[in-house]
Amino acid sequence: MPENRIETIRSSTKWSLAAIRYALKGRLSQASPRTLESLAVKTWEIAPSETSISPPAYFLPNQLERVTGWEFSDEHPRLAMAGERTLHKATRGFLLKDVWLIDGALYKGDAKSWLTPRQSRLPRVRVECEIDRGAVYCTPMGNKYFGQWLMDDCVTYPMASAEGIPVTTAQPVNMHTPMYEDLFGMKPLRVQNAFFRELVIFDDFGQNRHKQQRFRCMSDRLLSHVKPSPHPGVMILRGGTGELRLLHNEIELAEYLRDRRGFRILDPSRCDVQTIVSTCAGARTVIGVEGSGLMHGILLLQAGRSILTLQPPNRFVRVYKDLADRDNQHFGFVVGQPESGGFRIDPDEVERTLDLFPESPD
């Protein structure tokens, strides 16, 4: 946090009746009738909306017929994987006055916005600090999923830092978070309850060029710490971490790709960030089970290279195709066959899908 802004934080040791009122009102209401954005005293466009034509994904015949469920989308991935015209939302900023952050939610008037799941049944509403001007960069999905934190929250941080004290919620963090923050130059204020005289929030979900440039700046900062040379690829192991998506033959497949294709094998749960960066830098292809762990490799992947996701049949996710399309990369997938609470991937199908990708530039 910049030193010249420290004086704008004032400690508060008293209980706030207003905070209690907002918190209880938020607990009792089922839905907020208004959005925080609608109460902004100032709204501005940081980057315009854009339209693009996304290319088809790379996959073998009959793969999509195996899909029985999907996440983070309202429809079967069939159309998206065939390529489509896509509208990318504008990036916008909103300035609000007199806003409360209480137990993971922002409150202003009759509007509220959850940033994290509620921390307790009865919220602790003792205000920890009063901030003249802050800027929240964290998102509900980024607070829940490490991959979303890397691809969304960290990308918004530079804008928040330019607008005020960059603020995120106080909650346990991933084992890799502190090192990534250090490498990215992030110095956020983590707070549970606070009162903001002025607060800036963002709509930064559109995959426009402005967001792509900020993402690439993050990648360049990581790559500046290594001397990458091109290599065939890296398979990122998921194992039993996070929400269970168990690939029964994951190790077998990783060793197969190592022996047949020269792929490196990375288990992020057993490595520090420096090892992750040095292993992934220079990869022509990043492979792994759909999930947050893939973001370690995708963050370092250069234009013209490839992402291959191993998809559980009951949980197809298209998020990584959106990133690949935005960053001029190739996206492909293999859908597994269900097996005793998890799924299995045919190594031959992986190899044949890899052969569909265009040759990667060095």
CATH number of the domain within which 278 lies? 3.40.50
Angle at alpha carbon of residue 154, lines to 151 and 155, rounded to 5°: 70
The answer to whether residue 49 is domain-embedded is no
Each residue's pLDDT, cut to its tens digit, for the chain (362 residues) gives 444 444 455 555 444 555 555 555 555 455 557 899 999 999 999 999 999 999 999 999 999 999 999 998 888 999 999 998 999 999 999 999 999 998 889 999 889 999 987 655 555 666 778 999 999 999 999 999 999 999 999 999 999 999 999 999 998 899 999 999 999 999 999 998 899 999 999 999 999 999 999 999 999 999 999 988 999 999 999 987 777 789 999 999 999 999 999 999 999 999 999 999 999 999 999 999 999 999 999 999 999 999 999 999 999 999 999 999 999 999 999 999 999 989 999 999 999 999 999 988 77
Q: How distant is the alpha carbon of residue 166 from its chain centre?
A: 17
Domains in the chain: how many in total? 2
Residue 36 lies in a domain: no
- Per-residue tokens: 132: 């003249």
State the pTM of this model: 0.90
Among 143, 170, 205, the domain boundary falls at: 205
Tokens of 158: 């530079």
Assess whether 131 and 242 both reside in one domain. no
Q: What is the sign, positive or negative, of the torsion defined by CA atoms of 89, 95, 98, 103?
A: positive
The answer as to whether 212 is a domain residue is no
Structure tokens given for 272: 């520090």
Between helix 250-261 and helix 347-354 the angle, nearest 10°, is 40
